[in-house]
Structure 1
Amino acid sequence: MISRRTFLHGAGAGALVIAIPVPALAATGELAPTVLVRVDRHGRITATAPRPDIGQGVRTVVALLVAEELAVGADDVRVEQAPGDTDRFGSQAVANSTSTRQLHEPLRRAAAAARCLLVTAAALRWRVPAGECTAVDGEVCHPRRGRLPYRALVADAAAIDPADVPVTLTPPHQWRLLGRTTSGRVDTADIVAGRARYGLDTRPPGALVAVVARPPWLGAKPDTVDDRATRALPGVLDVFPLTSPGEGQGGIAVLARTTHQALRGRDALRVTWRAGTPAADSRQWLADLEAALPAQGRPSGPQRTYRLPLLAHAPMEPMNATADVRPNAAIVWAPTQDPGSLRTALAQQLALPPASIRVEATLAGGAFGRRIEPDAVLEAVACSTRAGAPVSVLWTRDDDTRHDSYRPMSVHRLTAVTDDSGLPVRRSHEVVTWPLTVVPPFADPAVIRASGDHFPYSVPGDVTITVQPAPLRTGFWRAVYAGQFGYAEECFLSELGTRAGLDQVQLRRRLLPADSRLRRVLDHAAARAHWSRHPAPGTGRGVACHLDYGSAIAVVAVADAASRRVLRVHVAVDVGVALHPSGVRAQVEGCVLDAVSTVLGAQVTVRSGSVVESSFSDYTWARIDQTPDIDVTVVSSGADIGGLGELAYPPAAAAIASALAAATGTDVTGMPFGSDVG
């Protein structure tokens, strides 16, 4: 069986590659110049989304790209989710904010190829130059010959060799849909009406339900199991251990006909546990990290140490998966971030050819890095294999919070050398943290630095990273290490500015090139926040910038001293070309709310070997009354399209913490603000 670690190593390596689909003639009566776009004989257009939609709206971008090039409305494009298949679709990993960056050109070219073939087919029928024909609203038009709908041209277009037809892309100045603020999501109506199908909605005919009794403390293993009361309950069909690396995180599975029966059965189990670390305490882990900071040898100057906690992902849809494993084939339905690598891994595990494995990526109610891991799928496959029937494995909210792969703890010591005006001229950043246990390369300090250290200012310095063994599972969490490095670096820069009496915006402007994209978005954010005016009494303001994923962003936050509420957050973001501006705003808003949540109090703690937090009652994610006014300005630079999904979290968290510090006069020493860490 393949282990979770092996799967994730492969997934991480493949996440940076995208295959350009090979052009191919469609079956008779259908035009399909590539695997990404097809037009059927009725003129209906279907676009294939190679990567899953985990809430980031990639299916909407797919529809807009294809509709733009085929000269139709977005509602005229049906978006179909691709199954896991790296041979046909290349990398299907939703990671590192790459989906739009890597898919926009293949999708545009696929749709443009279909348009050019349809135009060529019309030109041949009319015996006129193709250059005299245009595609408009699902028709090919000629000033003298009239109009032909796509459906009348599909068969002729499919018979033309795509290699004989030059492909021209629609220039940006002619875009009707891309770049328009008013474009909504293609699936909003289905989501609101409950028609959209998520992983938790998947229940094939005859499917059983399994839940897992999980270890009560870290690393514990079942010792004795008394399942007599469980087996006596109505609807309970089986009780069995999950023990191998190919069966998820481990525990005792209870298989039943319904969710209620499975949960009742789990409650009735009597299990004793052994081994693991029943005395583990996150306060001690934090102390150990701090003790591992290098001995002082850096230039003397202003210094601050920041302590950052464990964080859980807490997607609104808990982990789940459904599998139907038969002797010669298997189907998996899962809200996964990488259906292609999952299919490859399952083929190895089940000793079946990849063609016998089908992985259907459902919609996901959030992911934030958690669903790159296959543990829920491995559990479903193990349960279905034993049951000989389709099985849905469900995690409760408590399961999700207490058995996550957490963002690592870290300690950051920053030291600066400043000139006579207080401006930093040299910096030192010493970090002690844990690796990402789910991806072996992230034990390498060089890999951690590449992920985390994106200091954008003209201040030379040294970054030293010490990696300690992780005492529990750790994994990707939105922005990965940049969320920790950027938070510490920007909070420290703000503290230096406060000590020297420097204006926070002007401080950053002086450290950025005059023509930089980052300085431009900083100016936009400051203008939107009316930075030149004095803050209102009892409030404080914070600023932070970030450069990552080929994009630039600046954030100004305003906080109230008395209530410690974040009142307003102003964001200016440059993703090069914003294909879907309302989607850009939604992504930024999501990151800002993650920042509000983690700065104001959310953290994971461990006592007596167990994760204390269990749900949103104690893992305190921001409520509606804590939501600030969020103002997002999209700045176009014409640069290459950049990534976005994780971009706003690091500067939003730093700006919010610095605003609270300015409002209350309390120094930032970590996260959450003003609270004990660990």
Structure 2
Amino acid sequence: MNRRTFLGGVLVVSAPIALPASSEAAGEFAPNVFVRLDDRGRVTATVPKPDSGQGVRTMVALLVAEELAVGLDDVRLEQAHGDTERFGQQGVGSSFSARQLTEPIRTAAATARCLLVAAAAKRWGVPVAECTARDGMVRHGRRALRYRSLVRDAAALDPATVPVTLTPREQWRLLGRSHAGRVDAKAIVTGKARYGIDTRPAGALVAVILRPQWIGAVVDTVDDSAARAVPGVVAVTTLAPVTEGQGGVAVIARSMPEALRGREALRVTWRGGTPDADSRVWLAELESALPAVPTAPGPVAFEAVYRLPLLAHAPMEPMNSTAHLTATGLTVWTPTQDPGSLRTVLAGQLALDPANVRVEPTLTGGAFGRRIDFDPVLEAIACSRAAGAPVSVLWTRDDDMRHDSYRPMSVHRLSAVVDASGVPTWRAHGIATWPLTVLPFFENPDIVKYNGDHFPYSVPGKLDVALRPAPLRTGFWRAVYAGHFQYAEENFLSALGQRAGLDQVDLRRRLLPADSRLRRALDAAAARAGSVRPGFSRGVACHDDYGSVIAVIADSSEGRVRRVTAAVDVGPALHLSGVRAQVEGAVMDAVSTVSGAQITVRDGRVVQSSFRDYAWARIDRAPDIDVVIVPSDAPIGGLGELAYPPAAAAIASATGQTVTGMPVGVEVG
């Protein structure tokens, strides 16, 4: 398995999604599970993966509209429930969605189009080759039949007898050409879109949880008498760690305010864990665990150490889940990054037939890796069991910030040998960090290295990873370990260039093959960014990952990043505004983490509790962001996580300060 088929540690499924057949209802033509038409001409596309803000729903709509030769507004969307046998691999992570869905969805829509054309040709008694599909109609000369009049005829054809052809790229009308926004943008901005936090099935109760008061603590004693006396409180239940989420005491009530009042009335004592935990101590322990510096082939010209903090996901929609467990089955409504795997896991844990487990993924207000975890779902199931009713578990912002699965801390030591001009000829990179507790195989340093090592330059050297046990929950965070590795490596390369008085773009050009995609992207970014303006400092960084490449140039003045230019090659750019949006979002994550956001632990507790003290960038800190989409014939690549590592490195370097870690100019830990 090569790096490109490694799904960021989530789940590895490199096989393409199949196109299972779907039975037709009366007056409906459904040649597969992804596309169907009814006899009123309505086109419905089933979206097999959840949308966590990366635009999967819009991409599916574009793919279907393109291949079915209809308008984008003519495609209605339905979100698939969790069912890997029916819909294939449903996880979103490691920027795999476009790569996994493009050909299956195109083929599904093209199959429908070809069957409709064949049905029209058969009715007219003419060769299929003489017929064309356009604007929801099949045409032959001056004759035309709307799709709705062909639905029954197309449904009667044997798909195996009709050749399926995809629309050539040069004939695309929408893909790679349309600047359409998100198909659900209006519903989102008008408040009509329904997120997990909005979900309330009939008779649903609401639960909030008093969570462990320090890291690793478990419930010792519970006095819930005052909580049960609060009007509206229905039940109080103690949750077991791991099997029922993160543990704690849940208060189940008829409304959120009543549940919160019940939680305030609880009297709980705690035991175990690490009440004296301190993230500064953890950072020092990691630094002492750095691998030994290997023997260099010549004099080491420069060495630097970089320290990176804990980071929270902090999605705009806090964690939540709704569940209804009955004697015969389970239904879950939840914002999740993997409804198919969630269904499989729940069926196994509860010893239920998968046919009796239904997972309905809701629209997600941000994920960034956090919603790969199932802990809110387990909490909702435990609460539903206790209450004998559907229950929505809602996390407060404080809950979300202080009980996350955090991006691990890491410490990096880099060394280099350089030639007479100051260009590196050998490098060493030692990393000390923690595994991801959400997946056991990340306890293997080789997996961490495999996930994080994307050094794109022609400089030989050695990279070593040392893992220490994670002292708290850790999980996937946008770009996973590449965000650590590339930040240190690009800032180190920039420091080498500054010491030698080298232009940062020219230095990287000298270390990249002349005909490489990444060098072309770097040249495109440099051409768009132009020369450095007086009073500005500049940072440059590159990244090659997910089958895509990107070069980022950041310009700063007076301690603030003012402009970011990013040139990206993702192969065919299917959704142009979507490409720009993904880069822009990653740049803002980079601005935030470089300028001040970090999670710290004191006295066993996470200090930060909201955006008040978790210093995420406000809109007035947003730079001008210019995204250059580089034309490419490469295969479709991923994008959702691609821009964060180089954007963070370029912005840090552009500050003009000596970079020793993240955030810049702030004590780490």
Contact kept, 8 Å, 2:550 with 2:642, in 1: the verdict is yes
Corresponding residue number in structure 2 for 1:193? 190
Q: Could you tell me how far apart the structure 1 residues matched to 2:352 and 2:9 are?
A: 19
Corresponding residue number in structure 2 for 1:202? 199
**How much does 1:350 deviate?**
2.0
SS at match of 2:91: coil
Corresponding residue number in structure 2 for 1:631? 626
Q: Normalising to structure 2: TM-score of the pair? A: 0.97
Counterpart residue type for residue 420 of structure 2: D
Counterpart residue type for residue 501 of structure 1: G
Contact kept, 8 Å, 2:28 with 2:151, in 1: the verdict is yes
Q: Could you tell me how far apart the structure 1 residues matched to 2:428 and 2:12 are?
A: 34
- Spell out, residue by residue over 1:356-412, the C-alpha distance to the aligned partner (whole angstroms, 9 max, x if none): 111000000000000000000000011111211100000000000000000000000
SS at match of 1:12: coil
Corresponding residue number in structure 2 for 1:507? 507
- Spell out, residue by residue over 1:499-524, the C-alpha distance to the aligned partner (whole angstroms, 9 max, x if none): 00111000000100111010011011
Contact kept, 8 Å, 1:483 with 1:650, in 2: the verdict is yes
Contact kept, 8 Å, 1:339 with 1:359, in 2: the verdict is yes
Q: Could you tell me how far apart the structure 1 residues matched to 2:66 and 2:647 are?
A: 33
The reply to whether residue 76 of structure 1 matches residue 67 of structure 2 is: no
Correspondent of 1:540 among 537, 544, 548: 537
Matches within 5 A, 1:149-548: 149-299=146-296, 300-530=300-530, 533-537=531-535, 539-548=536-545
**How much does 1:239 deviate?**
1.0
Counterpart residue type for residue 615 of structure 2: T
Correspondent of 1:571 among 542, 566, 569: 566
SS at match of 2:19: coil
The percentage of counterpart residues that share the same residue type is 68
Contact kept, 8 Å, 2:320 with 2:394, in 1: the verdict is yes
**How much does 1:468 deviate?**
0.6
Corresponding residue number in structure 2 for 1:12? 10
Counterpart residue type for residue 253 of structure 1: A
Corresponding residue number in structure 2 for 1:677? 668
**How much does 1:298 deviate?**
3.3
Using the TM superposition, name which of 35-44 and 609-618 deviates more: 35-44
Q: Could you tell me how far apart the structure 1 residues matched to 2:236 and 2:12 are?
A: 37
Root-mean-square deviation (Å): 1.3
- Spell out, residue by residue over 1:449-478, the C-alpha distance to the aligned partner (whole angstroms, 9 max, x if none): 111010000001100000111100000000
Q: Could you tell me how far apart the structure 1 residues matched to 2:598 and 2:9 are?
A: 28
SS at match of 1:640: coil
Counterpart residue type for residue 676 of structure 1: E
Corresponding residue number in structure 1 for 2:658? 667
Contact kept, 8 Å, 2:119 with 2:150, in 1: the verdict is yes
Q: Could you tell me how far apart the structure 2 residues matched to 1:604 and 1:194 are?
A: 31
Counterpart residue type for residue 637 of structure 1: S
Q: Could you tell me how far apart the structure 1 residues matched to 2:169 and 2:15 are?
A: 26
Contact kept, 8 Å, 2:237 with 2:386, in 1: the verdict is no
Counterpart residue type for residue 457 of structure 1: Y
Contact kept, 8 Å, 2:106 with 2:166, in 1: the verdict is yes
Corresponding residue number in structure 1 for 2:134? 136
Contact kept, 8 Å, 2:334 with 2:360, in 1: the verdict is yes
Matches within 5 A, 1:85-96: 85-96=83-94
Matches within 5 A, 1:612-631: 612-631=607-626
Counterpart residue type for residue 32 of structure 2: T
**How much does 1:16 deviate?**
4.2
Corresponding residue number in structure 2 for 1:3? none
Corresponding residue number in structure 2 for 1:115? 113
Q: Could you tell me how far apart the structure 2 residues matched to 1:588 and 1:529 are?
A: 16
Question: For residues 77 and 307 of structure 1, do their structure 2 counterparts lie closer, same or farther at Cα, with a shift above 3 Å needed?
Answer: same
**How much does 1:527 deviate?**
1.0
Question: For residues 642 and 361 of structure 1, do their structure 2 counterparts lie closer, same or farther at Cα, with a shift above 3 Å needed?
Answer: same
Question: For residues 228 and 23 of structure 1, do their structure 2 counterparts lie closer, same or farther at Cα, with a shift above 3 Å needed?
Answer: closer
Contact kept, 8 Å, 1:330 with 1:357, in 2: the verdict is yes
Question: For residues 525 and 181 of structure 1, do their structure 2 counterparts lie closer, same or farther at Cα, with a shift above 3 Å needed?
Answer: farther
Q: Kindly report structure 1 stretches of 4+ aligned residues shifted beyond 4 Å.
A: 14-18
Q: Could you tell me how far apart the structure 2 residues matched to 1:583 and 1:451 are?
A: 25
Q: Could you tell me how far apart the structure 2 residues matched to 1:583 and 1:497 are?
A: 34
Counterpart residue type for residue 656 of structure 1: I
Q: Could you tell me how far apart the structure 2 residues matched to 1:224 and 1:674 are?
A: 44
SS at match of 1:245: coil
Q: Could you tell me how far apart the structure 2 residues matched to 1:438 and 1:514 are?
A: 41
Q: Could you tell me how far apart the structure 2 residues matched to 1:618 and 1:127 are?
A: 72
Corresponding residue number in structure 1 for 2:3? none
**How much does 1:297 deviate?**
4.1
Task: Point out where structure 1 has 5 or more consecutive residues left out of the alignment.
Answer: 1-8
Contact kept, 8 Å, 1:15 with 1:93, in 2: the verdict is no
Aligned positions, number: 660
Q: Could you tell me how far apart the structure 2 residues matched to 1:58 and 1:486 are?
A: 27
Q: Could you tell me how far apart the structure 2 residues matched to 1:313 and 1:12 are?
A: 16
Corresponding residue number in structure 2 for 1:6? none
Corresponding residue number in structure 2 for 1:554? 551
**How much does 1:301 deviate?**
2.5
Q: Could you tell me how far apart the structure 1 residues matched to 2:488 and 2:501 are?
A: 20
